[in-house]
Structure 1
């Protein structure tokens, strides 16, 4: 006992120099050194600019010149100006396009899982548009939709009269649909690869067992693939709809936001760079961030209610319906039992 107490008394706390040379100290030193570069980049290029943007949203200012503090006036103007919030209605076209592209991506990915001929070439061809930068995609479709160019020429080859073909970019009833189609063309391949990666993780023995039990391809998709990739579907849908609110490249490059095609980002760019109302544009960016956050939370709450966490076999609503049926059946059994006793 005496020797143990003496050893504890001799043992002293290490100073910083001794600690940094120890195994624990070296480990923490490596962790900190590896974190310094990414955290510095994140701080310098993300958090500090965001903080300055939030600060500028309370000022009436241009890029160069004096600043005047106006408080919440910029935010009030964002909600008062019709062209700003009216541009959010244009995002509905891109949301519709996001749903279409997810449906196509899910369909193509399912085809790839069931081993079709030329699958490698098809995957590369579908994924290739995602590798093209957005500005280039805009210029491609600017000439694709131009009057008398590619799309009109193709339709004329099939016998359509040029006078019966609409102006794809000038007709306000169809121009936003045309622009949303460019996003479908570009992002379908990306979503297909994500779906395909999730589907490849499903055990192939399940398909064989289902086939032996008489399940066709639709049954395999519905009861094996869909439950297995539920989390990826929910994630892609949330990202696609959130991205639709910030659509910029197609309307900016193809139409420059004219003829009712200006999205929220295009209007914000015009206010910031052409009108030099930097404070108002910063307020618009903060409002858009709040809208995207609210939409994301609403989607997550909805999908959590409808699909749980994306991995459970039954949703909460399905569990509730099943419990109601079980309760109803139990009540009917009790009534039947009482009727048998009384008789």
Structure 2
């Protein structure tokens, strides 16, 4: 038998093997390394806590007695039977609606005013944005003293002959006071976002509208609002989610009172878990909060196709 051997040409013998670490693979590895910290943080601080909260909601964890018992859906049945939950959800709705509407309206108004070419606009920008970088607890404590019956707000009212109420201890004014304090704290952030969006609107459109005889209000409604609608969507999502997570302001200003008039869902969760030590029921309230935030975010995201300019 004859053995057939393949004869390689000198060019084939000297041809180098293709390198494994090609430019494309190096670029992919670089991209994965860049996103690895964010991905790891999302898994550790978002996904894992979500799974644990769901697991804890099926148990009753008594830290004082050192017991951890599986109770199935008992905590969810307790959630449905909780007599305080309707008033808590009502307070949460009032706080979120008041905060979102007042914050977005005031932020847009300030952005429109600061977008005018007037003297001193830089000073006003810093003035309105400075509360955003101030410590939240310090800001709330200062307002707590100002809103007392003998505080600074009522002192100013006394100078004009008006007797102010105890803002934080009256059911009619406590919620309004908390909303206003929170609006003043964060309105500067939305103002800056709106201001950046307004400065990105082409001036040629306004000039064409003036030539056609459009009023300022018509130009604002037909040109400005559609073109900054993506920013409105962004700020509305941020503000809605933030309004559902407010805790420090309630804890410092009203402690949920008077009664349960300012007991929002996050503060009620804190009371159940860390004051009454019912961690299982607190985890169930956390699941409810997560579902509410998820539902509102999904609804806002799907509605964008109807009123966001670039999505139409």
TM-score normalised according to structure 1 size:
0.79
The answer as to whether partners of 1:179 and 1:251 remain within 8 angstroms in 2 is yes
Task: Give the match for residue 297 of structure 2.
Answer: 296
How far apart, CA to CA, are the structure 1 residues paired with 2:22 and 2:226? Answer: 50
How far apart, CA to CA, are the structure 2 residues paired with 1:212 and 1:118? Answer: 30
Task: Give the match for residue 229 of structure 1.
Answer: 228
Alpha-carbon offset, residue 249 of structure 1: 2.0
Alpha-carbon offset, residue 303 of structure 1: 4.6
Q: After the TM superposition, which residues 1-343 of structure 1 pair with which residues of structure 2 at under 5 Å, given as runs?
A: 18-19=19-20, 21-63=21-63, 65-94=66-95, 95-160=97-162, 162=163, 165-259=164-258, 260=260, 261-305=262-306, 307=307, 309-311=308-310
How far apart, CA to CA, are the structure 1 residues paired with 2:109 and 2:209? Answer: 20
Q: What is the total number of aligned residue pairs between the two structures?
A: 300
The answer as to whether partners of 2:99 and 2:182 remain within 8 angstroms in 1 is yes
Give per-residue Cα distances to partners, 1:190-218, cap 9 Å, x unaligned. Answer: 11111111111111222233334443432
Give per-residue Cα distances to partners, 1:113-150, cap 9 Å, x unaligned. Answer: 23233111111111111112321221121011011111
How far apart, CA to CA, are the structure 2 residues paired with 1:271 and 1:115? Answer: 52
How far apart, CA to CA, are the structure 1 residues paired with 2:237 and 2:41? Answer: 27
Give per-residue Cα distances to partners, 1:72-124, cap 9 Å, x unaligned. Answer: 11111122112234211112332123201211111111112232331111111
Alpha-carbon offset, residue 269 of structure 1: 0.6
For the structure 1 residues 253 and 115, does the alpha-carbon distance in structure 2 shift closer, same or farther, using more than 3 Å as the test?
Answer: same
Gap regions ≥5 residues in structure 2: 1-8
Gap regions ≥5 residues in structure 1: 1-5, 314-343
How far apart, CA to CA, are the structure 2 residues paired with 1:22 and 1:100? Answer: 55
How far apart, CA to CA, are the structure 1 residues paired with 2:166 and 2:89? Answer: 23
How far apart, CA to CA, are the structure 1 residues paired with 2:119 and 2:219? Answer: 20
3-state SS in 1 of match to 2:67? coil
RMSD: 2.6
How far apart, CA to CA, are the structure 1 residues paired with 2:58 and 2:38? Answer: 30
Structure with bigger helix share is: 1
Give per-residue Cα distances to partners, 1:148-168, cap 9 Å, x unaligned. Answer: 1110011111221x3xx2220
Give per-residue Cα distances to partners, 1:26-50, cap 9 Å, x unaligned. Answer: 2233233333333222222222222
For the structure 1 residues 227 and 24, does the alpha-carbon distance in structure 2 shift closer, same or farther, using more than 3 Å as the test?
Answer: closer
Task: Give the match for residue 6 of structure 2.
Answer: none
Runs of 4+ in 1 over 6 A off after TM superposition: none
TM-score normalised according to structure 2 size:
0.87
